[in-house]
Structure 1
Amino acid sequence: MKRRQLLWASAAIGGAALWPEARLLAQQAQDFIEGPAVADIPAQQLSPHVWMIYSPDGFPTPENRGMMANVIFVVTSAGVVVIDSGASLQIGQMAIRMIRKVTDQPVVAVFNSHYHGDHWLGNHAFAKTYGNKLPIYALHSTIEKLKGAEGNLWRSLMERWTNQSTLGTQVVLPNTPVQHGQVLQIGDVTFRMHHYGTAHTPSDLCVEVVQDKVTAVGDIAMTNRIANMDDGSYPGTFKYYKALQTATGDQLWVPGHGQARPDLLKTYGEFLAGIWEPCLKAVEDNQSEAEAKAAVLKDPRVAARAKTMQGFGGNIGKYVSLAYLEAEKVAF
């Protein structure tokens, strides 16, 4: 249904707009609208089995139509496995087009790394194309979080941030829980699940592609974007990194935002430490949050990123505040 048809439907209910039935009709009419297609982004091959559809942008805008997170896929002998499906129906559809340029095999499984909408709202496209029985894996805590208001909240937020470019996207939840240490064999590729507590969120699933020594890390680390830490933990992130590296050894780390790097946990960990350590010291020295922020901005690990990191200027104050609050809990 196009926008003109929606306007017609709205006019048809006219003075009855306050009726429950009219409101339901309007909502159903909107659900049939689909925003514009997302431009193709050819996939990059990272290893023998792993490919990535790279997003150059770190935040959703009307211009990028919500394309703000990488979509990763793994080509196995039994079919294609997707790790994070994107932020909308349209992004998922674009990802399917790009997968079909690489292989004619169907998608046989999807993983969602956590509950932030840019990593799972594309589930709709894969379920629509490959059927509602398509396994969509996530941690149990992610599934439970999205069963509540969180799922529809993310759909609404993405529509607002993109000037409704993502219209038509429906909430399709992960349907199959996985847990830490679980191993799934799909064709000739082994997938190992990792979860070591709260990092970016309490529900961060990292998926290791064992044969390729490649691990998709979701948003626990980012190449050149300041991460959302509202639900996260600074010391929890450092603990997660240490446990993950101990369990896997050297890997190519593939983030949800930014290019894959073998030194990603090291470089992003240094940046986060440049925020955390001055805040912890400020609390221990009975200094104010303002003094902590000044120390963070002078820290060379942070200052080196200030001019180039996506979202730095608009978010560094908030994430210093979060670090300071967490440091108060740790110190006392």
Structure 2
Amino acid sequence: MMEKKSRIYVAGHRGLVGSAIVRGLENMGYNNIVKRTHSELDLTNQEKVNEFFKNENIDYVFLAAAKVGGILANSTYPADFIMENLLIQCNVIKAAYENKVEKLMFLGSSCIYPRECPQPIKEDYLLSGYLEKTNEAYALAKIAGLKMCQYYNTQYGTNYISVMPTNLYGTNDNFDLKNSHVMPALIKKFHEAKVNNLASVEVWGSGKPLREFLHVDDMADACIYLMNNYEGNDFFNVGTGKEISIMDLALLIKEVVGYNGEVKFDSSKPDGTMRKLLDVSRLKNAGWAYKIDLKEGLKSTYKWYLENSHNIR
């Protein structure tokens, strides 16, 4: 278990998940958190990473740093996505081992699972089918990171664990309509429609696809819980185990934002995967369950968006 004085390195501390982990740790009284920006430490540079671990006496690592992007970026730059993510993972995991880090957590993605997975998705379905082509490079890198942790545990007796989150939202999310995910995109769309008194808001697709959403503060709580309470060679899905249609999500966001116009669904636009739900029974059996209700999470996310819209992404 992490002690309050343990030196805890959060790689990717400015990102959605990394910043939530830092907040969660600070709220629990951990006061020795090590952070480095990309300009201070390029995790793709093995020599710099080795030097950092050698000098900093790190006890625990949350590896939340990654090259991420939407469908367009993943499709356009697949070589960059697989190379940069593999370099980050290999450098950090190897340096953690060589410098006797007590425990490491690797953060992956639910895109590691096959495109046509049975629902809800169990951890056992990993490598049971073909990946989604549009983000295959990123998914392969994340699978490699997960497996690397397991193989290090098997060969060297390390204590490395991995978590695969569902769709996340919350503080520090990306609200850029060109490359944001569905939740922040809809929040921004409805807010701008409200401010500009627009008669309607258009939502892509039929509204029928089902999605699962987890507040990023719950994700951070799960990560810290597992870091303190789990030892073994399993990896974990992290989610709510509950789903909502895009139509119902849009109507809920409309209510939270206070928009009074009409919602129109453009069925000529693609729906994407019709259902994507994680099976979280392994995590529940380990003793953790989500706390933040979707409506409550949406309210706090919209409040944060309003307070930060002047300098938001």
TM over 0.5, shorter chain: no
Question: Highest Rg: 1 or 2?
Answer: 1
Task: Give TM-score scaled by structure 1 length.
Answer: 0.29
